[in-house]
Structure 1
């Protein structure tokens, strides 16, 4: 039996503080619609939009700044399925296929999650040792895969 799942094209940013590379701190934000769900900024890619344009637009929309330096791009699209209760909210997609970027906030960047359509109500910078216990459980596998790639390549 063949399974025909649909995946929403998406871009995601592993945002490091402006202290990188001296100090490695990851930005996590808590979703407004799912309390306790902490994640990296991410969002859909609009039709006709380049991946990089989507990255900069999504950062502006979600954290109020796109004042970043792109450090690296994960070479592959990574797919994951939504949990059932999330899938019902995001019908007709079964999950997302994401392109990940490792980015550093510039010294001039100012995070403002009080955007016109807020997606986050809190944000924090966390160290690697705390990252995976804070992230929403269904995204941990993907985040570990992405972070391990950036570590292996010498960025983290």
Structure 2
């Protein structure tokens, strides 16, 4: 039995590979804008096309997905001042493109299955620190901004756009 067999509703993988269990976070401020960060390529810059994304990350073995979302949010943004707003009913999936599949996690996963959570940001913007993440975590973002939810789909890499469109639609009442 694999770890994903005990996660309720977790989708089956494809082509003999499982999906990587992950979470995604839509962090919404008091004005209904959504936090988005520009990915750091590991060299303190971003040379990626479509480098902007919401926080996301893997679920550790036996970790509750909502707790994973709060952990990932903290590790990537330093944010802890949040209140829970909601979550997606189902896992949302995307497949890695062929050119990424072999290099991503050594081809172990066909893509990601994500449970998405919406949180209201309750703190001051000064709480957000992507350049010096807490507890020795490496920076994943080089900069950040608040963005209208409707713009998010065009900022993310194309193979994740369907998931972003679903997330934006599901949480639209929270950003109005």
Shorter-normalised TM range: 0.7 to 0.9
Judging by fraction of residues, say which structure has more strand: 1
2:56 maps to 1:42: yes
Moved over 6 A (4+): none
> Which of 74, 78, 96 is equivalent to 1:60?
74
**TM-score with structure 1 length normalisation?**
0.86
> Which of 1, 21, 37 is equivalent to 1:9?
21
Q: Secondary structure at the match of 1:112?
A: coil
Structure 1: any 5+ residue segments left out of the alignment?
none
2:96 maps to 1:82: yes
> Which of 107, 113, 126 is equivalent to 1:97?
113
> Which of 26, 31, 36 is equivalent to 1:28?
36
Give the equivalent residue in structure 1 for 2:130.
Answer: 113
Q: Secondary structure at the match of 1:62?
A: helix
Structure 1 position 41, deviation (Å): 0.2
Structure 1 position 108, deviation (Å): 4.4
Asked if the contact 2:34/2:147 (under 8 Å) is kept, the reply is: yes
Q: Secondary structure at the match of 1:155?
A: helix
Structure 1 position 4, deviation (Å): 2.3
Query: What is the aligned-residue RMSD (CA, Å)?
Result: 1.8
Q: Greater CA deviation, 78-87 or 68-77?
A: 78-87
Q: Secondary structure at the match of 1:57?
A: helix
Asked if the contact 2:152/2:164 (under 8 Å) is kept, the reply is: no
Structure 2: any 5+ residue segments left out of the alignment?
1-13, 42-46
In structure 2, what is the Cα distance between the partners aligned to 1:42 and 1:64? 14
